[in-house]
Structure 1
Amino acid sequence: MEVAKVLHMNGGVGETSYANNSLVQRKVIYLTKPLRDEAITSMYNNTLSKSLTIADLGCSSGSNTLLVILDIIKVVEKLCRKLNHKSPEYMIYLNDLPGNDFNTIFTSLDIFKEKLLDEMGTEMGPCFFSGVPGSFHGRIFPLQSLHFVHSSYSLHWLSKVPEGADNNKGNIYISSTSPLNVVKAYYKQFQIDFSLFLKCRAEEIVEGGCMIITFVGRKSDNPTSKECCYIWELLAMALNDMVLEGIIKEEKLNTFNIPIYYPSPSEVKLEVITEGSFVMNQLEISEVNWNARDDFESESFGDDGYNVAQCMRALAEPLLVSHFGEGVVKEIFNRYKKYLTDRNSKGRTKFINITILLAKRS
């Protein structure tokens, strides 16, 4: 599997699109807003730059993409008024893999700019937008060009399926039944990818610049903990059922692994310290229900299983289609929904989020 070619969220605005199934991600953006506001305030107070370059890595598409950018600009504009400082020019880089639905983003930019001007109520510096297709597991921006880097729910994706995970039979991610070598292979790939990510961003961020990152992670030091693995174990159960019924070949399942890793706080800290380009100023842990509609709506919309299955389909469908073919995807998620409904009937289950604020070392 060439991850860079097949990993992207479902595009468009249809029923299974990421745009219509990303409430979990939106909830996390709201939860991390105080830390993000604090970071941009401190950075801008220290630089008072005439131009401000902001990059959102793993931006995807839909309303969440520009929500973060809107918040950041509003914070800077309020600071400018308070300090009686001329509004800066904004250069906004939106990055994701080439398969991302950049067209949907671009068609919404005029509405975004109108909304921004309406909310601010006064003239402000111009905003220039660029889409930047490419993997953030390598260099994607010019040297010392970025002031503020944001990434939410992206860095847990790996650059490739770990080498040495080919005996993870019956599983699609780490689980309690995974051989030890598989667990080690996943962690090693996370170390390689995150270290390279930090090295590349250190070359691209200006002195005094900073970066805020949110991963899906885990509190436990055990990488097979159900708090990080269970949502994928349930999908594996659905796939195993289809193998038993002859719908999917066993070999196909045994050669499929999700290129993702949910780290612990200690694992994240270790890589930051080991790579050495950044100082970690803060680390926060937050939680959000698998079914984020519990947090946004007083009345349920559909059932829990349906909502969570739609969320997972929006992000995993391209990987499944690439490996198993398009013809079985609907059946996979119908079965997955039943497992999710049964699990959620026994109590709410949550994603664990790790948010870190990093400042570039001078």
Structure 2
Amino acid sequence: MHMNGGSGDTSYANNSLLQQKVMCLTKSIREEAIGCLFRTTLPERLAVADLGCSSGPNALFLASEFIKAVEKLCRRQKHQSPEYQIFLNDLPSNDFNTIFMSLHSFKNQLSHEMLTTHLPPCFITAVPGSFYGRLFPSKSLHFVHSSYSLQWLSQVPEGIENNKGNIYMGTRSPSNVMKAYYHQFQKDFSLFLKCRAEEVVEGGRMVLTLLGRRSQDPSSKECCYIWELLAEVLNQMVLEGIIREEEVNSFNIPNYTPSPTELKWLVRKEGSFSMNGVQVSEVSWGAACGCEQSDDNYKESAYRMAKCMRAVAQTLLVNHFGDSIIEHVFMRYQQVLAHRMSLEKPHFINLTLSLTRNTN
């Protein structure tokens, strides 16, 4: 599982405006967390980890934002600038090369925005590996960030062979499928918290954003609709004999979009972090792709949304169905999206958690 690499037309780098918009929406929460961290501790070296950084322009967004925020606080309080150690984490298959080829322009842009030619020391390191395990030495991180990554599970839940005709939790999915997905999310998210608890210093902060839902129903349209429409495309291709029914029946998306209640309960149960708050925000599908959805531009919105979803889901589809059907799938998917977006204005729901590492 990885986003489409490179810088081509279907790359994540060129189709991640949704993720960028969400990071902008949650900027105030990060700035508040950074301010609290600054008031409680200011070591000579600040270690920051961005987990699930992917590639493209968003990969260094957090690094730039963090440095600017701390430097502003340093000037205000007349403190000496710390050294910055930025860790960029994603799976080993991630396109780290594209990130590192952009470092020169990143530093130039940062200098321009900070109105200085003398940036504080900043060391950027790639850390390949799953964040559902240990990645860093004990008590080595001051700030952890993750955006649009933790909804991805470590694996497809077990025991959902009867989820036929669906590729995710759907309104027609059996009840055991819902339970299996939630159980896998509980296991993964609790392990994530446990691992970060060992790596984050006491009083350190985490800001985590993931796709979620307001509803207590895990098959709610607000979180499952985008995948149900892809399932509609695949099932139509089964009826036309393009792909086999058993291929669709054995394909499930390793993703879970939780509710605020579920997240709060899991944080309390694990016990290593205090919850400072949960923000719920939303982005319309049209705005997510750079088009404020209206009656006359839904086709353009659907075109961009199909490309966004392709950048995210293509590797999963190729690994299961092969690459010969990909163009066909996303051409049809665009048509389905256009039809639905002409009738309604669906939204993505985002949940942002602000957490503080407890003292032992």
Give the AA of the match of 1:22.
Answer: S
Q: Which runs of 4+ in 1 moved over 3 A?
A: 293-302
CA distance in 2, matches of 1:293, 1:301: 13
| Equivalent in the alignment of 2:338 | 341
Pairing 1:310–2:304 present = no
CA displacement at 1:297 relative to structure 2: 6.9
CA distance in 2, matches of 1:294, 1:161: 28
Give the AA of the match of 1:118.
Answer: H
| Equivalent in the alignment of 1:361 | 358
Structure 2 residue aligned with 1:9, among 3, 7, 16? Answer: 3
Contact 1:309/1:336 (<8 A) preserved: yes
CA displacement at 1:66 relative to structure 2: 1.0
CA distance in 2, matches of 1:209, 1:334: 46
Query: What is the DSSP-based 3-state SS (H/G/I as helix, E as strand, rest coil) of the residue aligned with 2:134?
Result: coil
CA distance in 2, matches of 1:325, 1:337: 20
Residues 162-173 of structure 1: pairs in structure 2 closer than 5 A? 162-173=157-168
Give the AA of the match of 2:314.
Answer: E
CA displacement at 1:195 relative to structure 2: 0.1
Contact 1:23/1:292 (<8 A) preserved: no
| Equivalent in the alignment of 2:79 | 85
Contact 1:139/1:201 (<8 A) preserved: yes
Query: What is the DSSP-based 3-state SS (H/G/I as helix, E as strand, rest coil) of the residue aligned with 2:210?
Result: strand
CA distance in 1, matches of 2:138, 2:214: 35
CA distance in 1, matches of 2:10, 2:308: 8
CA distance in 1, matches of 2:81, 2:299: 45
Give the AA of the match of 1:50.
Answer: E
Pairing 1:18–2:9 present = no
| Equivalent in the alignment of 1:4 | none
CA distance in 2, matches of 1:297, 1:219: 22
CA distance in 2, matches of 1:14, 1:37: 33
CA displacement at 1:194 relative to structure 2: 0.1
Q: Deviations over 1:253-297 (max 9, x none)?
A: 100000000000101111101111100001100000123356567
CA displacement at 1:198 relative to structure 2: 0.1
CA distance in 1, matches of 2:107, 2:12: 22
Give the TM-score normalised by the residue count of structure 2: 0.96
Structure 1 residue aligned with 2:152, among 135, 140, 157? Answer: 157
Give the TM-score normalised by the residue count of structure 1: 0.96
CA displacement at 1:347 relative to structure 2: 2.1
CA displacement at 1:49 relative to structure 2: 1.3
Tell me the number of residue pairs that the alignment of Structure 1 and Structure 2 aligns.
Answer: 356
> For the aligned residues, what is the CA RMSD?
1.4
Give the AA of the match of 2:350.
Answer: N
Pairing 1:325–2:331 present = no
Query: What is the DSSP-based 3-state SS (H/G/I as helix, E as strand, rest coil) of the residue aligned with 2:75?
Result: helix
| Greater Cα offset, 316-325 or 290-299 | 290-299
Q: Deviations over 1:61-106 (max 9, x none)?
A: 1111111211111000011111111100000000001111000000
Residues 286-301 of structure 1: pairs in structure 2 closer than 5 A? 286-292=281-287
| Equivalent in the alignment of 1:111 | 105
Query: What is the DSSP-based 3-state SS (H/G/I as helix, E as strand, rest coil) of the residue aligned with 2:286?
Result: coil
CA distance in 2, matches of 1:298, 1:159: 34
Contact 1:289/1:351 (<8 A) preserved: yes
Contact 1:95/1:134 (<8 A) preserved: yes
Pairing 1:277–2:272 present = yes
**Percent of aligned positions with the same letter in both sequences?**
60
Give the AA of the match of 2:84.
Answer: Y
Give the AA of the match of 1:165.
Answer: I
CA displacement at 1:23 relative to structure 2: 0.8
Residues 25-36 of structure 1: pairs in structure 2 closer than 5 A? 25-36=19-30
CA distance in 2, matches of 1:297, 1:170: 32
CA distance in 1, matches of 2:282, 2:205: 24
